[in-house]
Structure formats: C-alpha cells, structure tokens
C-alpha cells in the first residue's frame, strides 16, 4: 500500500516536472498595445534569467502564421510567413539577456490581433500572449477617377473611412466644395446637419444612412446642374486625427433640356437671318408681293422671339435659376407685343419719314435750280 502511494507521488512529480510552465516564466506586456499605422511596435517577451539552448517561436494565434523563429542561436527569416518578411526582428544584443521582444516595423492595419511568444529550453517551454489591439489610423479614400454625369441625373461621390475608431465614434465628416469653400453636407456626432448645407445644395444632398456604420460616408447629389462641376472634399475628424479625400466632378454632358435650349437659340439666330434676307430680296424686287412682305415682317418679329422665349424656359428648367428665366422669358414674349402695340402709332413715323423725304428732294431740286442759274 505504502509502496503504491509512493509510486503515484513519483509519477505526479514527473508529470509536474514535465509541465510546460515549470522552470522559467515568460513575461509579456502589461496590457494590449496601440500602435500607429506605418510605425514600429515592440512586442515584449522575456524571461528573468537567461536560458540555454533556447528556441523562440512567435506566431499569430488566429492564423498560426509564423512571425519569427529563433533557433540554434540564430534567426530563421526563411521560415517566416511572407507577410512578415523584413518586418519582424529580434534585438540581437538582447537575446543573451533573455529578451525575446519582437520589433515589428511598418505596422499595417492587418497586424491587429493576438500574438503568441513561446520559448523552449531543454524540454521546457512557456509562453505569453501579446495583443495589438488597435493600429491607430484614419484613412479616407474618395475615388481616383473623376465623376461625370448628365444634367439632371443623380451622382454618388464616394468617401470611405478606414480607422481604428468605429464609425459611430467619428466626430465629424464634412463634405466641402473646395473651390469657394461651400459647405455641402455636415455630419457631426452621429447626426446629419442639413441646415448647414449651402443654398445651392439644399435638399439635393444626402448620406447613405445605412452605409454609415460601415464607414461609408459617400454623398448622393441629386439632379446635378452644370454649376455643380468642381472639386469636392470629404474631410474627416476622429480621435484627434484628421484626414481628407477629394472627388472631382467633371465636365457634364448635355441633357435633352440643354439640347433643346441650344436648338431654340440656333433656330432664333438662323431664322432671323433667313427672314431678313428674304425680306430684303422681296423688297428689292419691288413687285406686287406686299402680302409676302407682310408675312415675312410679322415672322421676323415673332419667330426669333418665341424661340428665345422657349430657350429661356428650358434653361430655367435645367439650371433652376427661376428669377433669371422668368425675367428673360417675359422680356422675349413682351417684345413682339410691344411692337404690335407701337404699330398703332406707325402713321406718325410715316409722317416724319415722308417729311424727311420731301425735304431731301426739295433741297436737291433747289440745289439743282441754283446750279443751273449760277452756270447761266
Ligand atoms: C528588450 O529589448 C528592447 C529593445 O532594446 C527594450 O526596449 C526592452 O525594454 C527590453 N525588455 C526588457 C525586459 O529588458
Ligand atoms: C454615437 O452613438 C453611439 C451609440 O449609438 C455612441 O456609443 C457614441 O458615443 C455616439 N458618438 C458620438 C460622437 O456621440
Ligand atoms: C458606399 O455606398 C454606396 C451606396 O450604397 C455604394 O454605391 C458605394 O459603392 C459604397 N462604397 C463603398 C466603398 O463601399
Ligand atoms: C488634406 O490632406 C492632405 C494630406 O493628405 C493635406 O496635405 C491637406 O492639408 C489636407 N487638406 C485640408 C483642407 O485639410
């Protein structure tokens, strides 16, 4: 009985002796690490007393990717996972002191995660975990290609935010038109402030609300106008950092409204020239075609003006500048009306003309008479 118990104790002792954690203690950091993007991070891992015949394995706990291997007195870069080539090093002079801290350079966003440092020495082993909790960053991306749209269409100006700060903790996102510093749309502390939108963009801009939790602060600009052409900037403030991205809104194509405006302007111009030429032609022929002349004369008064009236009406639709459109429309439609109104008083003009003609001929005959007398 006594012998059996003694044997069990010895067995337990052997079992405890072979346990990984016996013999030495591997220490790590006191808490999770926060590192700036592109910077360097020291992932601490050390033992109090220097060890002999040591092997150190640094791995990611999620993918089990080998970050760094130290074996037989040297580092083994060839065994490293490709993501960590030339980025993960030991402090060579520190190894002899039992300091197996890892220097991770050029930190990337994907480096966030938990790392395991496992130290082996003479059949014994221990490990510690090091967490890179956040890679501090605020990256804002717009679109490399310029955005173009037809007049009246809706466009999306993209802006996506990649940060260690979650989108609901972003302090401010402002969309600004850079040429002229026009506020297009403002988002602050989980809220969109449409009131601060410039009049030019009032009721025409919005965020994709469902996309904001994904860090997508793209802007929807509705019924684009020619004057919307320009450079737009998405400016983000979060956690004391700020970053921006620009989107260029390019040359806008002609919409059917624009084509209509152009058509009517062209029709007005060429119509006026054509009618005037025919009028001069018929008048010079001096035959009895007064009805044709009359028709031409009336057309010359009405047609170009009506064309311009329509052109301004369409222009008003596309540009939305109501005041100018109404003024110009009124002007063009009133001109023929006013001419007709003046028609009534044409006889006075005729009187003046006749008097002038009479006076001209009178002077000429007087002159002629005088000349004759002088010669005589
Ligand atoms: C290990 O070495 C690094 C780099 O020299 C140093 O920053 C760190 O403090 C050292 N750790 C210990 C425990 O000595
Ligand atoms: C936004 O809302 C979330 C919860 O919905 C909250 O945790 C966060 O603090 C808010 N952010 C700001 C800046 O108010
Ligand atoms: C953001 O959301 C808009 C609208 O749903 C979408 O068109 C765009 O592709 C999104 N951008 C990104 C980067 O996901
Ligand atoms: C936008 O970001 C660039 C760097 O990416 C910076 O040089 C520039 O000053 C920023 N513009 C504004 C208005 O903050």
pLDDT by residue for the chain (376 residues), tens only, comes to 454 545 454 444 444 444 444 588 999 999 999 999 999 999 999 999 888 899 999 999 999 999 999 999 999 999 999 999 999 999 999 999 999 999 999 999 999 999 999 999 988 999 999 999 999 999 999 988 888 888 788 999 999 999 999 999 999 999 999 988 999 999 999 999 999 999 999 999 999 999 999 999 999 999 888 889 899 999 999 988 999 999 999 866 677 777 888 899 999 999 999 989 988 888 888 776 678 888 888 888 888 888 888 888 888 877 667 788 888 888 888 888 888 788 778 777 777 777 777 777 777 776 777 666 665 5
Residue 5's φ and ψ, nearest 5 degrees, are: -65, -40
Residue 20's pLDDT is what? 44
Q: Which protein residue's CA is at the shortest distance from atom 1 of ligand 1?
A: 99
Report CA(100)–ligand 1 centroid distance (Å): 8
Q: pTM higher than 0.85, yes or no?
A: no
Q: Which atom of ligand 2 is nearest to the CA of 168?
A: 1
Residue 302's pLDDT is what? 86
- Which of 202, 209, 156 has the alpha carbon at shortest distance from 187? 209
The separation between the first and the last C-alpha atoms of the chain, rounded to the nearest angstrom, is 177
Residue 140's pLDDT is what? 95
Q: Which atom of ligand 1 is nearest to the CA of 44?
A: 11
Asked whether 173 and 158 are in contact (CB, 8 A), the reply is no
Q: Which protein residue's CA is at the shortest distance from atom 5 of ligand 2?
A: 168
Q: Which atom of ligand 3 is nearest to the CA of 214?
A: 14
Nearest ligand, CA 143: 3
List pocket residues of ligand 2, CB cut-off 6 Å.
Answer: 168-169, 171, 189-190
Residue 313's pLDDT is what? 85
Report CA(94)–ligand 2 centroid distance (Å): 45
Q: Which protein residue's CA is at the shortest distance from atom 12 of ligand 1?
A: 99
Residue 376's pLDDT is what? 52
Residue 94's pLDDT is what? 93
Nearest ligand, CA 181: 4
């Amino acid at each position: 009985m006594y012998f059996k118990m003694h044997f069990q104790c010895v067995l337990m002792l052997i079992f405890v002796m072979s346990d990984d954690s016996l013999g030495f203690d591997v220490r790590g950091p006191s808490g999770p690490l926060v590192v700036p993007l592109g910077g360097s991070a020291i992932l601490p891992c050390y033992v109090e007393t220097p060890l002999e015949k040591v092997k150190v394995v640094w791995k990611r706990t999620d993918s089990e990717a080998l970050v760094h291997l130290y074996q037989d007195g040297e580092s083994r870069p060839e065994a490293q996972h490709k993501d960590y080539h030339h980025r993960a090093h030991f402090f060579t002079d520190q190894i002899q002191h039992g300091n197996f801290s890892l220097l991770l350079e050029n930190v990337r966003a994907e480096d966030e995660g938990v790392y395991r440092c496992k130290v082996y020495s003479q059949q014994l082993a221990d490990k510690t975990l090091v967490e890179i909790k956040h890679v501090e960053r605020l990256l804002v991306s717009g679109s490399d290609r310029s955005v173009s749209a037809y007049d009246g269409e809706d466009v999306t100006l993209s802006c996506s935010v990649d940060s260690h700060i979650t989108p609901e903790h972003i302090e401010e996102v402002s969309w600004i038109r850079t040429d002229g510093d026009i506020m297009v749309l403002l988002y602050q502390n989980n809220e969109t402030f449409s009131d601060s939108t410039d009049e030019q963009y009032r009721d025409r801009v919005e965020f994709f609300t469902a996309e904001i939790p994904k860090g997508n602060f793209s802007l929807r600009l509705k019924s684009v106008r020619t004057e919307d052409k320009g450079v737009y900037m998405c400016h983000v403030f979060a956690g004391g950092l700020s970053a921006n991205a620009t989107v260029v809104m390019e040359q806008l194509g002609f919409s059917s409204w624009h084509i209509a405006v152009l058509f009517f302007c062209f029709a007005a111009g060429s119509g006026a020239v054509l009618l005037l030429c025919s009028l001069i032609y018929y008048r010079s022929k001096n035959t009895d075609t007064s009805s044709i002349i009359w028709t031409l004369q009336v057309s010359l008064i009405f047609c170009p003006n009506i064309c311009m009236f329509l052109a301004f009406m369409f222009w008003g639709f596309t540009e939305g500048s109501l005041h100018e459109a109404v003024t110009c429309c009124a002007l063009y439609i009133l001109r023929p009306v006013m001419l007709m109104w003046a028609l009534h008083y044409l006889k006075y003009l005729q009187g003046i003309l006749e008097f002038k003609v009479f006076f001209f001929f009178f002077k000429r005959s007087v002159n002629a008479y005088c000349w004759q007398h002088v010669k005589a």
